[in-house]
Chains A and B, each alone.
Chain A
Amino acid sequence: MPAFPDDPDVRAMLAMKAGRASSLDEVIERHAARLRRFLARQHVTPEDAEDILQETFANVWQARMRWQPQARFSTWLFRIAVNAMLSRFRRASRGGPAFTILDEAPSAESSPSLRLERAEARVRVRAAVDALPEQQRLALTLHCYEECSYLEVGEVLGVSLEAVKSLLFRARQNLKEALASDLEAVRVLLDSTDGPEELRA
């Protein structure tokens, strides 16, 4: 009995196991955008990202018989995508920046100069995240952007729980150093809501 019987991904995988290739299209429809976003955060060019996505979903089909319904599908998918991405990076050097910083939507509260300031801050954040060592960047983006748990990050990267904690800690330490001046500005703003309770909430 699958652990997630109502999960549409589980149903699609079971259909694929039975030989229905069209179910892969549903999986692509549900997950491609998220994977594309994840790859953009890994500094993958849009062209490379499309190739990696093709390889990832083709590998999902190839590996469908080995997939176990007990495993969370997205974790398994991310693992395949990360492997496809890393093997591509090892074959060729990494490309230029792939991400686009969206301009903040204009509002009554935000002036053009404030929006520009925030956009510049985001560029610095992206640059600092990009500069992290590969494993730290992967762990951070999976945890902070893709909302993967420690356990899921460990499964995707094939490392222990302790290693995940260490990777996240070191990533944050590196980011704190790289973004010291930006952090100081934000810290002053947050100072009025000091205390761990607010943040966890």
Chain B
Amino acid sequence: MNPVDPKSHSVGAEDLSLLLDGALSAERAREVEAALERDPALRLEWQRLRALSKLLQQDADQVSPANANESQLAALVQARIRRPARWKFAAAAAAVLLCVSVWWVQSSGSPSAAEAPAAEDFAALVPSTKVTSLDATIDEIEWVQASWLPRG
């Protein structure tokens, strides 16, 4: 009977996965291989892992993409990467149009800054007291109307 290597107890399925990928250190790989020699259950697990690897290998070249028109793809990508430049142009054109519209509205028909009441004028008219009743509110509205609106 072979002496039992205490390290072999710690060999598990994850070590086999790493062994399959050649990702174990040389020392650890030797330990796992030694454990495989001794342990039938571990060996069975290794064989199943190899079988899985074989199945995946067989599958590797069997997936066929439906279409493969690289020149068409390249043309679409080229159109796509040029699109932002067109957006920038459109945004600049929209900004210019907006500025012209604002200038046109201001310069034709709207009250001039000198004629328009300033914000402070409104502030002075608004009573600072809190509204206590509906009657008081109506009084205040009438007072604002009398002070501000032109009398007929």
Residues of A that sit less than 8 Å from B by CB: 21, 24-25, 28-29, 32-33, 36-37, 39-41, 46, 49-50, 53-54, 57-58, 61-62, 98-102, 118, 121-122, 125-126, 129, 140, 143-145, 150, 165-166, 168-169, 172-173, 175-176, 179, 182-184, 186-187, 190-191, 194-196, 199-200
Contacts and interface: CB of A to CB of B under 8 A. Distances in A.
B49 interface: yes
B124 interface: no
Nearest to B64: A100
Contacts of A33: 65, 68, 70
8 contacts: A28-B70, A33-B68, A41-B63, A62-B81, A102-B64, A125-B56, A125-B59, A195-B36
Interface stretch (B11-19, B87-95, B109-117, B130-138): B11-19
B81 A61 contact: yes
A191 B63 CA distance: 28
A28 B65 contact: no
Contacts of A143: 21
B73 A32 contact: yes
Contact of A182 (B20, B55, B65): B55
Contact of B17 (A28, A172, A195): A172
A99 B77 contact: no
A169 B68 contact: no
Interface string B18-50: 111111000001001100100000010011111
A61 B80 CA distance: 10
A200 B51 CA distance: 13
B48 A168 contact: no
B54 to A, nearest CB: 5
Contacts of A165: 14, 17-18, 23
Nearest to B55: A125
B63 A172 contact: no
Contacts of B51: 182-184, 186-187, 190
A184 B50 CA distance: 11
B13 A173 contact: yes
B78 interface: yes
Contacts of B70: 28-29, 32-33
Contacts of B4: none
Contact of B74 (A24, A145, A172): A24
Given A54-B76, A58-B81, A169-B14, A179 B55 contact: yes
B17 A122 contact: no
Contact of A199 (B50, B56, B78): B50
Contact of B50 (A54, A125, A190): A190
B66 interface: yes
B78 A24 contact: yes
5 shortest interchain CB distances as A-B pairs: A186-B51, A46-B66, A36-B65, A187-B51, A25-B74
B80 A58 contact: yes
Nearest to B49: A172
A201 B67 CA distance: 35
Contacts of B63: 37, 40-41, 99-101, 126
Given A32-B70, A57-B73, 8 more contacts: A24-B81, A33-B68, A46-B65, A49-B65, A100-B64, A186-B54, A194-B47, A196-B32
